[in-house]
Each structure stands twice: as structure tokens, then as C-alpha cells.
Amino acid sequence: MTAQHIKEIDEAISELIDSRRLEVVQIGQNGANPGPLKNLVEIQAAIYALLRAKEHEMSL
């Protein structure tokens, strides 16, 4: 069951990155104003939360 959870977390990370990739690229190309910067921070926080969940699952 742990392997299934890790797979689901990996898929969630990939989906999050893919769904926001264009926005992240635009921020990188155009510089960041407070709105996109806030979005980028939220994206990073979500990715880190998913990675921590994956690490937790792997340590069980």
C-alpha cells in the first residue's frame, strides 16, 4: 500500500508542476511582480508539502 501512496504523491507532484509550468516559465522570463511571485511561492509550498508526504510514506 505504501508503494501506491508514493505513486499517487509522485503523480500529484508531476500534475502540479505540469499544470503551472507555463506560469512558472512566464515569471522567469518576465520577472515577477507581487502577484506572480505570490503564486510561485504557493506552487513551491505545495510541491514541498507533496515531497514531505512522499518522504514520510517512504520512511514508514
User: Residues 37-54: pLDDT tens digits?
Assistant: 677 777 788 888 888 888
1: pLDDT confidence band, cut at 50, 70 and 90? low
Note the pLDDT of residue 60.
Answer: 74
Overall domain count for the chain: 1
pTM here?
A: 0.51
DSSP string, 1-59: -HHHHHHHHHHHHHHHHHHHHHHHHHHHHH---HHHHHHHHHHHHHHHHHHHHHHHHHH
Selected residue with higher pLDDT from 24 and 32 = 24
Domain residue limits at 27: 2-59
Backbone torsion region of residue 31, taken as left when φ is above 0, otherwise alpha when ψ lies between -120 and 50, otherwise beta? left
Mean of pLDDT over the chain: 77
